[in-house]
Amino acid sequence: MSERTLQERAETVVMRAALRLPERVQRVLGGPAKMVDGQTLAPETQLILRLMDLGGPAAETVPVPKGRRIIAHQCRMSGGEVPIGSVRDLDAGGVPARLYSPQGAGAEAAALLVFFHGGGFMYGDLDSHDASCRALSQRAGVRVLAVDYRLAPEHPFPAAYDDALTAYRWVVGHTAELGADPARLAVGGDSAGGNLAAGVALVAALEGLPLAFQMLVYPATDNQRATRSAELFGTGFFLSTAFMDLATDSYLPDASQRLDPRASPAYAEIPDGLAPAYVATAGFDPLRDEGEAYARRLAEAGVPVDLRRFSDQIHSFFNVVGVGRRSPAAVAEIADRLRVALAP
């Protein structure tokens, strides 16, 4: 066994043990409570950040290939083992994908969420969000199709956007193969994935494709990032200004494209018939305000919107489903909302 593998295992053991401790002990270990903008960071999340500070370098400070390995390791640590009915990889019109079916799923057509992972368009894959997709599928009782779109900087904009659309159009034409009810299709994603889900929802409305719901978890919607939350939380809360700058430079090297509505949904025209949206944000997240602004814009255009801020959370809490208490509870709440939205 390599030294690196031993180190990763040790870090995982420490992380999971620490997050089983009572909150009062986590508060002592994590340091004085962080209170910003009228919000208090969850003790377990503050402890995670402190443990991460004691670990290796942040992903954005190293070359992209090494950063991808760091992100993958972090996701494995926080994901845990999540039971699920079945999992199979497939080809979604030339785009790799993975289909999750919850335990107890029969042969009858079921609701299906097409999911796009986060990672700044440069990190993440089917494995990075495997635990989250399992948790969503099992808790919500829906099938989940995770999409493995191309990543920057090797494949800059609009590669990820094009792959997301290709995969969704393929899903619409293959619902029987997927065991999906065409009247209960949804798109969703976190961060960059939320950006792609929003973009697919806009196109679905324009093209008349069936879509019942969009689930946007701290979505990236505006590449200007001229918000108070970006100023308040750009350092010290996992998602950093340096990370966001690297992501933008990698995915959108042509600065003239950064406010293209396909890259920044905040500037898109809101079409008639846009699917209802659930927008979840994190209180200590640089992307908080742009996600909430997008939710308000949808509501002003007459789109049914449910906006939920998890005020004690940071960006990437959606990946924390196998350790701790508060983050998994937040993900469970999101899954419950998805279940209700796609009920028969």
Catalytic residue among 130, 148, 181, 285: 285
Of the three residues 49, 71, 93, the one that is the final residue of a domain is 71
* 19 lies in the same domain as 91: no
pLDDT in tens, 23-67: 999 998 999 999 999 999 999 999 999 988 877 799 999 999 999
pLDDT in tens, 3-19: 557 777 777 788 888 88
Q: Output the domain CATH number for residue 144.
A: 3.40.50.1820
* 65 lies in the same domain as 171: no
Q: Is 137 a catalytic residue?
A: no
Q: Show the domain range for 10.
A: 3-71
* 24 lies in the same domain as 163: no
Catalytic residue among 73, 117, 129, 315: 315
77 domain residue, yes or no = no
Catalytic residue among 128, 191, 229, 240: 191
pLDDT in tens, 83-127: 999 999 999 999 999 999 998 876 677 999 999 999 999 999 999
Q: Is 191 a catalytic residue?
A: yes
| Position 78 pLDDT exceeds 90 | no
What is the token pair recorded at 216? 């946007």
Of the three residues 46, 71, 96, the one that is the final residue of a domain is 71
Q: Which residues pair with 36 in a beta bridge?
A: 39
pTM score: 0.96
- DSSP assignment of 149-214 equals ---TTTS-TTHHHHHHHHHHHHHHHTHHHHTEEEEEEEEEEETHHHHHHHHHHHHHHHHT----EE
Are 155 and 163 in contact by the 8 Å Cβ rule? The answer is no
* 146 lies in the same domain as 243: yes
274 domain residue, yes or no = yes
Q: What residues have CB less than 8 Å from 223, skipping those under 6 apart?
A: 248, 252, 258, 259, 263, 264
76 domain residue, yes or no = no
* 108 lies in the same domain as 224: yes
